[in-house]
Amino acid sequence: MARIEQHPIVRRDWKDPFTFTFAGRPVTAYPGDMISSALFAAGLRVFGHHPKDGAPQGIYCANGQCAQCLVLADGLPVKACMTAVQPGMSVEPVDGLPTLPSRREVGVMREAEVRPVAVLILGGGPAGLSAAIELGSRGIDVLVVDDKDRLGGKLVLQTHRFFGSTQAVFAGTRGIDIGARLEKRVRELAAVEVWLESTALAVFSDRVVGVLRKDRYVLVRPQMLLVATGAREKSLVFQGNTLPGVYGAGAIQTLVNRDLVKAADRLFIVGGGNVGLIAGYHALQAGIDVVGLVEALPECGGYKVHKDKLARMGVPIYTSHTILSANGVDGVESVTVAEVDAKFRPIPGTETSFACDTVLIAVGLDPVDEFLRAAKEYDVPAVAAGDAEEIAEASAAIFSGKIRGLEIARSLGKTTDEVPEEWRTMGEILKSRPGPSTSETVPSDEDSVIPVFHCSQEIPCNPCTSVCPQKLIAIDEADIRRLPQFLGAVTGRECVGCDSCVAICPGLAITLVDFRKDREEPMVTIPFEFGESRLHAGDRVTVLDTVGEPIAAVAVEAVRRSDRTLLVKVRLPRTVAKRAAGVRMQESWVGDPLPQAVERLGDDAIVCRCERITAGEIRARIRAGLRDMNEIKTVTRAGMGACGGKTCTALIARLFREEGVPASEITENIRRPLFIEVPLGVFAGVEEEAL
């Protein structure tokens, strides 16, 4: 593992390195590193061993949700992924139960501050920030609470250009840049206060929200609560699923795109939704080999353009396949996958293994909705926006935050503005699932310059329409899910070959074919997002069609830069020029399987990560007739651990389904505060400075 010193999209200053220790060994870190990132950069992925069975522990979510990355920082237990490393800090692995440091005295104890506010927004991501802008610009007193050290939520991990509507949600702009824009606007609003590194702990029945503000406990009393807490990743049960090296997509994206740590050398992806597809692309940008991707469904659920993009980079995509095991002792060494039948059961004899050091799990998201549920139960006026309300794209979250913001402003009597009907329509369009794929329509023109849209699936996206100086690209304004049309023939105007549409397309799905100089060997412009160090004029490249099939091997004529996208010019025979969609990034041998499938023995498909309860233990209880998740918790401890059932609850529900138990027979387990673990001294208001 190492730092990504040159990332094609993200810049980070590598200044002022300092040293801390892990298990007594010196480790280098940079200002802003979380403990986990610095350890990863040093190649350390095992942070300790579980007290129950000695299983190696490390990050899983890298997002403060699970509790698997526990370490002792200067003697105190902390989540490595949420704690900034400090110069000289002594970090120790947790092997077994930590020892509570002895202490003779406590200093002064303060009363917790009570903070009234008009609107409390939990989460400073796309939805929360958009709502804060709507509210704050109307002078409404808003407090935004976010557990990270910067605003933007998951936008800070999104290095790709966004889909959606250019007019409504900054489509065509990279997620990281959208985050920066939203933050800038929020910071300009005097009515909006932002608390970073602050976590909501519970919504209490006395209509108070307990917030851990850095190391202080504050009781916030909002008139309205907006839950914009986003989503948490679903997990998956398979042998070896908690080995260091098995991570959520967000964890890899955080390490790679936020912290610029090359989190893996060889990555295997489970899940072909947008999250898995995009994370694969991000991994490639970070210089990580992506060995393959499995998707249990017969088709990837994510946008076709994302899938095609990944396939064109040379990543094999195995649909109707599932993961059987992650193999290794102290970390992942290989992964074993198999084809599945129509009922998603692995087909014996189809097992295949691939060497890899990391498995990325991207099997869907669940709303972080505990605060909304509690608020509803306790009659705290509350609404949700973004993924906390409904899982969809970040562009939809931006728009839903905007709508909720205006609705709240209205309900507080601060505006009479109605939410325009177009907003609601756009909100729904942005949330829509991708439509069926059709075949690409290729313009017949072979005299001038023409854009080719390698885009044959209806998704909400229109940036290409906004950049054409000739206004030659059109998408139905009433429904931006429609496919783009080239209006050359209709208008009589000619494409000037400016490449703007090629550069802005979030799917990297537009090429420009220029027949003007050479009708037989037109110049094709292909987008490339892997940085100038990876491709130069004169390099020989393999040109691929939309789905990644090679069509020619040629030398690059020229490379042009547009923002951080490279525009690669190649000359191709007329017969294939319009099919060209990308240049191969990753050599095909990267995806070669191992000669023999690896079988992982033993029952370590873990359902409850915190207490290390296996699927076998839970299944046995279900088969014994248990139907109350609370009773399963009583007898197995599943859900009693540090995270409070954040990952295992959905997995247990899934095991019930697999066992054929109807949902009507199941009693859900009761979720209780706190959202994260917080020291007693914080609740007591102990003034550490006074000691």
Partner 1 sequence: MTREAYDVIIIGAGSVGVPGAWAMARDGLSVLVIDRFASPGQGSNKTAIGGIRATHSDPAKIRLCLRSLEIARTWQEAHGDDIEWTTGGYSFVAYSSREENTLKDLLVIQEQHGLDIDWHEPRELLGIIPALRRDGLHGGTFSPGDGHCSPLLFGHAMYEQAKAAGARFRFGETITGIDVVSGRVRGVVTDKGIYDAPIIVNAAGPWASEVGHLLGMEHPVRPDSHEGGITEPVAHFLGPMVVDIRPAPGSANYYFFQLATGQIVFCVTPSPSLWGFDRRETSAFLPMVAKRMVDLMPCLTNLRVRRTWRGLYPMTPDGSPLVGWSREVSGYLMAIGMCGQGFMLGPGLGELLSRVVRAEAKPEDEEILSILSPHRAFAGQEALK
Give dist(CA 131, CA 411) in Å, integer: 14
What tokens does 19 get?
């040293």
What tokens does 387 get?
């993924």
For 403, residues 6+ apart whose C-beta sits below 8 A from its C-beta are 385, 419, 423, 424, 427
**Per-residue contact track with partner 1, 319 to 358, x per CB under 8 A?**
----------------------------------------
Label residues 21-44 b or e (16+ Cβ within 10 Å = b). ebeeeebebbebbbbbbbbbbbeb
For partner 1, which is the closer residue by CB, 327 or 636?
Answer: 636
- List alpha helices for 439-507, DSSP H: 463-467, 488-491, 500-504
Query: How big is the site for partner 1, counted in residues (CB under 8 A)?
Result: 51
Residue 492 binds partner 1, judged by CB under 8 A: no
Give the one residue of 13, 206, 421, 447 binding partner 1; rule: CB under 8 A.
Answer: 206
Which residue in the block uniquely carries the two structure tokens 């990555």? 267
Give the one residue of 417, 628, 658, 659 binding partner 1; rule: CB under 8 A.
Answer: 628
Q: Per CB under 8 A, which region of 308-316, 523-531, 589-597, 630-638 contacts partner 1? A: 630-638
Residue 337 near residue 350 (C-beta atoms within 8 A):
no
Give dist(CA 229, CA 69) in Å, integer: 21
Give the one residue of 86, 223, 562, 634 binding partner 1; rule: CB under 8 A.
Answer: 634
Q: Per CB under 8 A, which region of 255-263, 437-445, 578-586, 625-633 contacts partner 1? A: 625-633
Residue 104 binds partner 1, judged by CB under 8 A: yes
Residue 620 binds partner 1, judged by CB under 8 A: no
Give dist(CA 320, CA 309) in Å, integer: 20
For partner 1, which is the closer residue by CB, 70 or 523?
Answer: 70
Residue 653 binds partner 1, judged by CB under 8 A: no
Give dist(CA 572, CA 551) in Å, integer: 9
Kindly report the number of other CB atoms within 10 A of residue 234's CB atom: 17
For partner 1, which is the closer residue by CB, 329 or 680?
Answer: 680
For partner 1, which is the closer residue by CB, 216 or 654?
Answer: 216
Give dist(CA 635, CA 615) in Å, integer: 14
Interface of this chain with partner 1, residues 365 to 404, rule: CB under 8 A: 377-378
Using alpha carbons, select from 94, 232, 249, 77 the residue that is nearest to residue 158. Answer: 249
Give the one residue of 12, 18, 98, 410 binding partner 1; rule: CB under 8 A.
Answer: 98
Which residue in the block uniquely carries the two structure tokens 């562009």? 395
For 60, residues 6+ apart whose C-beta sits below 8 A from its C-beta are 66, 68, 69, 242, 246, 247, 248, 251, 609, 647
Nearest distance from residue 690's CB to partner 1, in Å?
12
Residue 443 binds partner 1, judged by CB under 8 A: no
Nearest distance from residue 50's CB to partner 1, in Å?
11
Q: Per CB under 8 A, which region of 264-272, 314-322, 448-456, 680-688 contacts partner 1? A: 680-688
For 276, residues 6+ apart whose C-beta sits below 8 A from its C-beta are 249, 269, 270, 293, 295, 302, 360, 362, 363
Give the one residue of 626, 638, 648, 652 binding partner 1; rule: CB under 8 A.
Answer: 626
For partner 1, which is the closer residue by CB, 102 or 444?
Answer: 102
Residue 76 binds partner 1, judged by CB under 8 A: yes
Nearest distance from residue 77's CB to partner 1, in Å?
7
Residue 630 binds partner 1, judged by CB under 8 A: yes
For partner 1, which is the closer residue by CB, 72 or 406?
Answer: 72
Residue 689 binds partner 1, judged by CB under 8 A: no
Nearest distance from residue 134's CB to partner 1, in Å?
28
Residue 356 near residue 201 (C-beta atoms within 8 A):
no
Nearest distance from residue 52's CB to partner 1, in Å?
9
Which residue in the block uniquely carries the two structure tokens 């990753």? 586
Give the torsion through C-alpha atoms of 373, 375, 378, 381, to 10 deg: -130
Residue 163 binds partner 1, judged by CB under 8 A: no
Sign of CA dihedral 73, 78, 80, 86: negative
Give the one residue of 119, 243, 396, 686 binding partner 1; rule: CB under 8 A.
Answer: 686
DSSP state of 87: T
Nearest distance from residue 683's CB to partner 1, in Å?
4
For 426, residues 6+ apart whose C-beta sits below 8 A from its C-beta are 165, 168, 399
Give dist(CA 387, CA 253) in Å, integer: 18
Residue 308 near residue 317 (C-beta atoms within 8 A):
no
DSSP state of 646: T
Residue 417 near residue 473 (C-beta atoms within 8 A):
no
Give the one residue of 331, 364, 435, 685 binding partner 1; rule: CB under 8 A.
Answer: 685
ω into residue 674 within 30 of 0, thus cis? yes
Interface of this chain with partner 1, residues 207 to 266, rule: CB under 8 A: 208, 210, 217, 219
Q: Per CB under 8 A, which region of 29-37, 352-360, 584-592, 674-682 contacts partner 1? A: 674-682
Nearest distance from residue 243's CB to partner 1, in Å?
23
Give the one residue of 644, 646, 648, 651 binding partner 1; rule: CB under 8 A.
Answer: 644
Site for partner 1, rule CB under 8 A? 51, 75-77, 96-106, 109, 111-112, 202, 204-206, 208, 210, 217, 219, 377-378, 626-628, 630-631, 634-635, 642, 644, 667, 672-674, 677-686
